[in-house]
Amino acid sequence: MRLAIASDHGGFQLKGQLLAKLREAGHEVEDLGTHSAESTDYPDYAHTLARGVADGTWPRGILVCGTGVGMAIAANRHAGVRAVNCSDTYTARLSREHNDSNVLTVGERVLGPGLAWDVVSAWLEGTFEGGERHTRRVSKIEPR
Ligand code: RB5
């Protein structure tokens, strides 16, 4: 799958670990930074990635910060972006099947690399179920 990934300093280490695993698994991943452990502002990275998901540059994206919370809040300010902050595989999978989430956020200070990878894998493998009821509900998410 084609993906973008980004983090702030709080997610820098986990981003590198996930990026390596994603590429090893055959995904085509663009790394939007940050590129060092120096302090940065998470919205800068969330907005860059979310803009690209919203305009179709990347079908899906992964954001990593300390908790995943700030990244999700910022990414969800973009129309068409459905970002979910997940710490378990069930929520990650269901966010795809029922909510058609297109951005996953995870927290380096919350998850170890093993569980983070399981969460990412569950999210990548999850497929939107579609159908009238889920499609109707997802279409109602955007403010009118
Ligand atoms: C940075 O200290 C931290 O606030 C950030 O990585 C993230 O957890 C924000 O939600």
Predicted local distance difference test score (pLDDT) of residue 121: 98
Q: Residue 60 corresponds to which tokens in the numbers above? A: 């899906």
- Phi, psi (5° rounding) for residue 69? -75, -55
Q: Is 65 a catalytic residue?
A: yes
- Give the chain's domain count: 1
Domain housing 58:
2-139
Residue 10 covered by a domain: yes
Protein residue with least CA distance to atom 9, ligand 1: 70
Mean residue pLDDT of the chain comes to 98
Active site residue 98: yes
The answer as to whether 144 is a domain residue is no
Amino acid letter at 35?
Answer: H
Q: What pLDDT is stored for residue 143 in this prediction?
A: 82
- Does pLDDT of 109 surpass 80? yes
Nearest CA to ligand 1 atom 1: 10
| Residue 88 belongs to a domain | yes
Confidence of residue 18 (pLDDT cuts 50, 70, 90): very high
What residues contact residue 63 under an 8 Å CB cut-off, 6+ apart? 5, 6, 7, 11, 42, 45, 46, 49, 71, 72, 75, 83, 103, 104, 105, 106
Among the options 9, 27, 47, 98, which is catalytic? 98
Do the Cβ atoms of 44 and 63 come closer than 8 Å? no
* CATH number, residue 55: 3.40.1400.10
